[in-house]
Chain A
Amino acid sequence: MCLANVNSAKKVLSLPASDLQRLLQLSSSEVQLVLHAVSRLFRSVPPVTALQLTLGEFPSLEPGHRLSFACPVLDELLSGGLPLHGITELAGESAAGKTQFGLQLSLSVQYSREHGGLGAGAVYICTEDPFPIKRLRQLITQQSRLRPNIPPALIRSIRFSDNIYIEHTADLEALQTCVTQRVRTLLERGLVRLIVVDSVAALFRSEFQADEAIERARHLLAFSATLHRLSHTYSVPVFCINQVSDVVDGPNPGRCDYGLVDSKLLPALGIIWANQVMVRLMLRRQEGCLRSGEQTSAARKLEVVFSPHLARASCLCGVWEEGVRGISQEGEVKSSPGITEQRKKDFLEPTDSINRTA
């Protein structure tokens, strides 16, 4: 086998059987035996039942907990928070408040597991704007207001800003080396349990022209494959912020609108990227504003576009001094009556319409 230069399991398995037969000078039944033996060596975990997963016997396959958004309403919408495996995308127009979510998650990941975190830092990859350090400082000082249930002493004991690793990447090459080398090192050392990319769209949209679609697709696939692998290997949630693009023309069979018929905006980067996303969220500015105590905030709607485990639902949220908070149905906020949270119903009616009077 070594003579034929087929010396790794990976190589054996990725060759078509007939090539293998020719290379190794074996008959077809012998090749089957070889493949079988190699496969056996290669497989790490035998099939497990879903029952074993629910019992938590295989935390590497099904961790059983999620990364909290530090807000009960948002956590409820996402049934516990960010899944530890796979890419979660948040798309929205500029100034919708996407970065606020990224910042809040980078702080919430640092709490211990009982407080909804993962007990490690975050790596924050900026491709668009410089990292909003001032806002981060403000969020850190306001943590005790955002998390009234956590003892203030515990909050003070976490050195939040020391645990956020900020990476600025100005081009695609830098982005790829960043995720394949530096981020991997951080994950291996256990310093980091969250990857935030703010935003994926910026570089992929700016570096390619209209006629370079194939090249762009190749880079996009390579990038998402790396993120996927990191996420599954280290059980690390990946949070990607995405821009949106306008829907210009009428019905187009080549466009996938995810049943969002009333929307004039769709997440950027097209179907190639969408195929790689496990949970897609969309954030939209709404008319009217929300009031909480003395603060006011423009109303925003966070909507689950698709996800293997969530209903197509939405909730209202606002950006406050202490961070992002969703508005529960009862509403501590006065200016938004008439909001019916159609959590269960939205499964049946994909185009939810929130009746607003504000």
Chain B
Amino acid sequence: MIRTVSGSPLAPSVKVKLINAGFQTAADLTEVQSLQLCKAAGISQEEADEALQTLHDHSLPLQQRAAVQGLTALDLLHQEESWGNIVTFCSELDNVLGGGVPVGNTTEICGVPGIGKTQLCMQLAVDVQIPVCFGGLGGEAMFIDTEGGFVVQRLVGVAKAAVEHCAALVEDEEQRSALESFTVEKILSGVFLVRCQDHVELLAELHLLPDFLRTHPQVRLVLIDSVASPFRQDLHDLSQRTRLLHGLAQHLTHLSAQHGTAVVLTNQMTTKVSPGHTHLVPALGETWGHAATQRLILHWEGAQRFATLNKSSSRKDATVPYNITVDGFRDASISVSSVLSHSPAAGSHSKRPRTENQHT
């Protein structure tokens, strides 16, 4: 692979000077010292250092770069397994997702208003904190609220139900002692909230997110509820919107892999009119569909709520029913025959939170 100077991520002025001085490809620069480069191209020493550094890194063949970082597919697999999943408290949905929302990946949740996107987000913000001995991650969550749907009162309700649920599962001493510190206050102090009113504030927050994650390594989940709202309200220039969204998606994918956090985005639905009929599709356009690794669509079917895994690189598509109860996001109490038969994944589920409808 020939790496050209013009295609490198250097400042344009530096690039022009390098090319004028006759350096066309990265190979041309391998033998050159920075001081020589200064003189030859008429650039400052810092610029020369940066240019050499950048081009040197990129000129390595791909296999070699992978070897430098020491990541093989097997390593990646192990890493992914060690990161784990965040349970949703709806066992059918967990099965579909392969144990819950995967950490180290981005997941998009789409749905009509009132279907339970925010409820699922709050449930995940609580569930990520379930202690390790209960099969959880013992992490913390960052909640970026752009719609104003984050109501603390509701989070308290969901947290209470989760604590009670874990209390009912206690089997050994380790779990008993873990439960003592797993209180509603503990859960609330592990949810960080930021409110953003427009896309500029959201982008600013995302630029600061890597720093935040570095100082708060416990944060294993970043929720953005919703991405659609700020970008649909203020941005009328569609091409700019697409480019900004594209950058945002890349940034988040990078972030989730680098820091080992799950990123969950919510998106609104919009009506698509095609000749003869209309149907509901996720907002923000076709290109945005590539943004997240997984896409989950929540929808009504009569009076029952359903979740459909619409896009995933590792799981097959499926549709399962769920309910929103006073306790949060739960299994549907009725079994629906139309659901595609989905064999329950092998392995013990004793630690998976079961659902019982306490109020029926």
Q: Which residues of B contact A130 (CB under 8 A)?
A: none
Q: Which residue of A lies closest to B212 (CB)?
A: A47
**B200→A305 contact, CB < 8 A:** no
**A27→B150 contact, CB < 8 A:** no
Q: Which residues of B contact A278 (CB under 8 A)?
A: 147-149
Q: Which residues of A contact B188 (CB under 8 A)?
A: 49-51, 53-54
Complex alpha-carbon distance, A314 and B195, angstroms:
30
Residue contacts A-B, CB under 8 angstroms, 14 given: A26-B11, A38-B207, A39-B207, A48-B192, A49-B189, A54-B188, A252-B278, A253-B277, A261-B303, A271-B113, A276-B229, A308-B150, A347-B326, A348-B357
CB-CB under 8 A for A259 and B151, given A39-B208, A42-B204, A48-B192:
no
Q: Which residue of A lies closest to B117 (CB)?
A: A308
Complex alpha-carbon distance, A54 and B197, angstroms:
21
Q: Which 9 A-B pairs have the closest CB atoms?
A: A306-B114, A254-B278, A309-B151, A39-B204, A47-B192, A225-B233, A51-B188, A39-B207, A28-B9
**A256→B305 contact, CB < 8 A:** no
A13: shortest Cβ distance to chain B, in Å?
Answer: 5
Q: Which residues of B contact A16 (CB under 8 A)?
A: 240, 243-244, 246-247
CB-CB under 8 A for A348 and B113, given A48-B192, A51-B188, A256-B300:
no
**B11→A21 contact, CB < 8 A:** yes
CB of A117 closer than 8 Å to a CB of B: no
CB of B270 closer than 8 Å to a CB of A: yes
**A83→B151 contact, CB < 8 A:** yes
CB of B10 closer than 8 Å to a CB of A: yes
B33: shortest Cβ distance to chain A, in Å?
Answer: 20
Interface residues of B in 23-43 (CB under 8 A from A): none
Q: Which residue of A lies closest to B251 (CB)?
A: A17
**B205→A27 contact, CB < 8 A:** no
**A218→B236 contact, CB < 8 A:** yes
Describe B's contact surface by its main secondary structure. Answer: mixed
**A232→B151 contact, CB < 8 A:** no
CB of A95 closer than 8 Å to a CB of B: no
**B118→A256 contact, CB < 8 A:** no
Q: Which residues of A contact B14 (CB under 8 A)?
A: 27
CB-CB under 8 A for A345 and B360, given A79-B153, A350-B303:
yes
Complex alpha-carbon distance, A233 and B198, angstroms:
12
Q: How many residues does chain A have at the interface if contact means C-beta atoms less than 8 Å apart?
A: 79
**A228→B119 contact, CB < 8 A:** no
**B193→A47 contact, CB < 8 A:** yes
Complex alpha-carbon distance, A135 and B134, angstroms:
60
**A308→B118 contact, CB < 8 A:** yes
CB-CB under 8 A for A254 and B240, given A49-B189, A54-B188, A85-B148:
no
Interface residues of B in 177-198 (CB under 8 A from A): 185, 187-195, 197-198
A332: shortest Cβ distance to chain B, in Å?
Answer: 27
Q: Which residue of B lies closest to A260 (CB)?
A: B303
Q: Which residues of B contact A30 (CB under 8 A)?
A: 11
Interface residues of A in 192-225 (CB under 8 A from B): 213, 218, 221-222, 224-225
A-B contact sample (8 more), CB < 8 A, given A271-B280, A274-B112: A14-B199, A30-B11, A36-B208, A51-B189, A79-B153, A255-B278, A270-B271, A275-B232
B128: shortest Cβ distance to chain A, in Å?
Answer: 13
**B359→A345 contact, CB < 8 A:** yes
Q: Which residues of A contact B189 (CB under 8 A)?
A: 49-52
Q: Which residue of A lies closest to B235 (CB)?
A: A14
Interface residues of B in 316-331 (CB under 8 A from A): 323-326
Complex alpha-carbon distance, A139 and B199, angstroms:
43
Q: Which residue of B lies closest to A275 (CB)?
A: B268
**B193→A305 contact, CB < 8 A:** no
Complex alpha-carbon distance, A216 and B14, angstroms:
48
**B152→A54 contact, CB < 8 A:** yes
B251: shortest Cβ distance to chain A, in Å?
Answer: 9
Contact partner, B9, options A27, A213, A228, A277, Cβ 8 Å: A27
Interface residues of B in 113-136 (CB under 8 A from A): 113-115, 118-119
**B205→A43 contact, CB < 8 A:** yes
A224: shortest Cβ distance to chain B, in Å?
Answer: 7
Q: Which residues of A contact B323 (CB under 8 A)?
A: 347-348
**A305→B114 contact, CB < 8 A:** yes
Complex alpha-carbon distance, A50 and B199, angstroms:
23
CB of B45 closer than 8 Å to a CB of A: no
CB of B58 closer than 8 Å to a CB of A: no
CB of B52 closer than 8 Å to a CB of A: no
**A308→B154 contact, CB < 8 A:** yes
Complex alpha-carbon distance, A306 and B143, angstroms:
21
**A258→B300 contact, CB < 8 A:** yes
Contact partner, B280, options A42, A62, A256, A345, Cβ 8 Å: A256
B233: shortest Cβ distance to chain A, in Å?
Answer: 4
Q: Which residues of B contact A21 (CB under 8 A)?
A: 9, 11-12
Complex alpha-carbon distance, A271 and B283, angstroms:
11
Q: Which residues of A contact B205 (CB under 8 A)?
A: 39, 43
CB of B163 closer than 8 Å to a CB of A: no
Complex alpha-carbon distance, A19 and B240, angstroms:
10
CB-CB under 8 A for A254 and B12, given A271-B269, A308-B151:
no
CB of A172 closer than 8 Å to a CB of B: no
B322: shortest Cβ distance to chain A, in Å?
Answer: 12
Interface residues of A in 142-190 (CB under 8 A from B): none
Complex alpha-carbon distance, A53 and B193, angstroms:
9
CB of B50 closer than 8 Å to a CB of A: yes
CB-CB under 8 A for A347 and B269, given A51-B189, A305-B114:
no
Complex alpha-carbon distance, A38 and B360, angstroms:
53
Complex alpha-carbon distance, A17 and B247, angstroms:
8
B78: shortest Cβ distance to chain A, in Å?
Answer: 30
Q: Which residues of B contact A10 (CB under 8 A)?
A: 200
**A275→B113 contact, CB < 8 A:** yes
Complex alpha-carbon distance, A306 and B117, angstroms:
11
Complex alpha-carbon distance, A268 and B302, angstroms:
20
CB-CB under 8 A for A43 and B208, given A50-B193, A345-B360, A351-B303:
yes
Q: Which of A50, A86, A253, A350 has the most CB of B within 10 A?
A: A50
CB of B312 closer than 8 Å to a CB of A: no
Q: Which residues of A contact B194 (CB under 8 A)?
A: 45, 47-48
Complex alpha-carbon distance, A17 and B243, angstroms:
9
